[in-house]
Structure 1
Amino acid sequence: MSFIKTTEQASNHNHLEKMSVNELLNNINSEDKTIPIAVNKVIPSIEKLVIAIVERMKKGGRLFYVGAGTSGRLGILDASECPPTFGVPHDMVIGIIAGGDIAIRKAVEFAEDSTTQCWEDLQPYKINDNDTVIGIAASGTTPYVISGLQKCNENSILTGCITCNLNSPLSKVSKHPIEVIVGPEFVTGSSRMKAGTAQKLVLNMISTSVMIQLGKIKGNKMVEMQLSNNKLVDRGTKMIMDELNILEEEAHKLLVEHQNVRKAINYYINGNR
């Protein structure tokens, strides 16, 4: 099947510079409304990948995101939120960007064009066949990401990808391709917009579903969250109050003592009052 970059196709809107601010905002919003519909169409693909990731993580595996530019930054963002939200170690979900950490804030020229660097960037983590590597690239043509997944396949490491073009080279090297076809961008070729939003939605779905499957949520509460600020301490205290039907003072004392909502609740339920 032929490969056409719909992310590079001409925008559905023209003469953007002649639009009023209100027209710009409404037209951008009208394009953005199509993104959840596109994501909904690929839920079966996301489901298969999540199930495969959970199976490996239960054996001690880790989840890696690799990408360049906006895609790489989105992977790092999702990975960085997992420890505070779900209380997992910082080396359980890992985001890697072409060009290294400096590329998080500033573009590194030609970093995405390397066909060897991605695999080299994975080596310090002693990556193995319990791990999963998800390549993120809106275009589906980024050499850094494609070559990384190819090496992972050669080493029996599970691969997935998130791209916004159909039948891309990246999809062809991924064991679990997720292709969210959002169409042309409002500003032609600016894949930080609809494509970036679609990638963020899918990343949220993957990491959240995986962590729930691994038992990091109770009911609908973040009972494993890190108590890294006063807001989260207050939230944790309220969780304990609601779960155990006790007063705030006692709930806060339990939380401070155990530094974990689940541990505090279990301690109380087991009769240690």
Structure 2
Amino acid sequence: MKEDALSECLKNESNQETTQFSELSALELVTLINSADMTVANAVKKELPAIAKAVERITERLQKGGRIFYVGAGTSGRLAVLDSAECPPTFGVSPALVQAIIAGGHDAMLKAVENIEDSQEAAIEELQRRHVSDKDVVIGIAASGRTPFTVAALQYGKKLKALTVSITTRGKSMMSEIADLSIAPDVGAEVLTGSTRMKSGTAQKMILGMLSTSVMTKLGKVHKNLMVDVVASNEKLQRRAEGIVSEVCGISHETARTLLQMVNYHPRKAILMYELHLSVEKVDQITQQYPYRSLQQQLALFN
């Protein structure tokens, strides 16, 4: 039965429209790839209700102390690592809040470790090592929806009563049947048969970006369209932080800079300090006590 599922998966990868791919000119190659890429957004668009439902359910778990665990192999795992790594600097959250588990570990980020994707035990061991519980969210990512490593992670998460979400890119799959929530656009066969780093990878990147950005916004990590919890770790981001505080408070960049210097360049804290006339110690207390309140809610609490 496993062979039948795999054979069907491989059959679906064949793209009869690009059998002359290797004979095209450079311009024809990139034009064809570009045309194929244009179809991805529409495929993802059809899944927006499912993505929105996932945002709501994931937010509920995180508000109660849960964490997100992305799980994937190959390209799917690398994209998971990319999205999870961007959450702390963009939204000022702990690296523990959104974690990525890639088959093969850190080594698989820089070189292919393809054989590990068949190991069900490795996925479960990694989830156990991170003490996944019923508070958490396990998000399995796989183009085909049948990768053993990722399937096992979803099954284990389901057993623990964690919220499970599957992200696949060739429509409904084995993973869709296992997970509590399924996001399953069908991007069609790749122009380069079986190379899921292309359209499937683009779709996964889009969906992960939607999920993490929307969840963090619902958790209060965004004010209007501003990253009020951005980690200003370089000069460019410090200037951005100054612009955020200046815009929200209606003050000069110079005044914003002075405030930010008092709170280690944390925009939210600088805004709270200015608007509520509070000390550094008090705004530290507010942000620690109410981590998942929006800036507007925090201002209303003490105004």
What range describes the TM-score normalised by the shorter chain of this pair?
A: over 0.9
Q: How far apart, CA to CA, are the structure 2 residues paired with 1:33 and 1:110?
A: 32
Q: How do 1:154-169 residues align onto structure 2 when only pairs under 5 Å count?
A: 154-169=159-174
Aligned AA (1:27): L
Deviates more, 1:207-216 or 1:105-114: 105-114
The Cα shift of 1:200 comes to 0.5
Q: Do the aligned partners of 1:7 and 1:195 also contact (CA within 8 Å) in 2?
A: no
Aligned to 2:157: 152
Q: How many residues align?
A: 272
Look up the match of 2:273. 267
Which residue of the other structure, out of 112, 118, 135, is the alignment partner of 1:130?
135
Name the counterpart of 1:242.
247
Given that 1:11 and 1:187 are in contact with CA atoms closer than 8 Å, whether structure 2 keeps it comes out as no
Contact 2:245 2:270 (C-alpha < 8 Å) held by counterparts: yes
Match of 2:81 in 1: 76
RMSD: 1.6
Q: Counterpart of 1:110 in 2: which secondary structure?
A: helix
Which residue of the partner structure matches residue 66 of structure 1? 71
Aligned partner of 2:271: which letter?
A: I
Change (3 A) 1:170 1:246: same
Aligned to 2:219: 214
Give 1:104-143 correspondences, 5 Å limit.
104-143=109-148
Pairwise CA distance, 1:271 = 2.8
Question: 2:69, 2:138 within 8 Å by CA — same for their partners in 1?
Answer: yes
- Give the letter for the 1:165 counterpart: R
Q: Which has the higher contact order (CA 8 A, sep 6+)?
A: 1
The residue that corresponds to 1:40 in the other structure is 45
Instruction: Measure the CA separation in 2 of the matches of 1:8 and 1:78.
Output: 26
Unpaired runs of 5+ in structure 1?
A: none
Which residue number corresponds to residue 108 of structure 2? 103
5+ residue gaps, structure 2, are 280-303
Deviation at 1:11, TM superposition (A): 4.7
**What CA distance in whole angstroms lies between the structure 1 residues aligned with 2:16 and 2:234?**
43
On the 8 A contact 1:76/1:95 being kept in 2, the answer is yes
Contact 2:74 2:114 in 1 (8 A): no
Greater shift in the superposed pair: 14-23 or 196-205: 14-23
Kindly, what percent of the aligned residue pairs are identical? 46
Which letter does structure 2 place at the counterpart of 1:268? Y
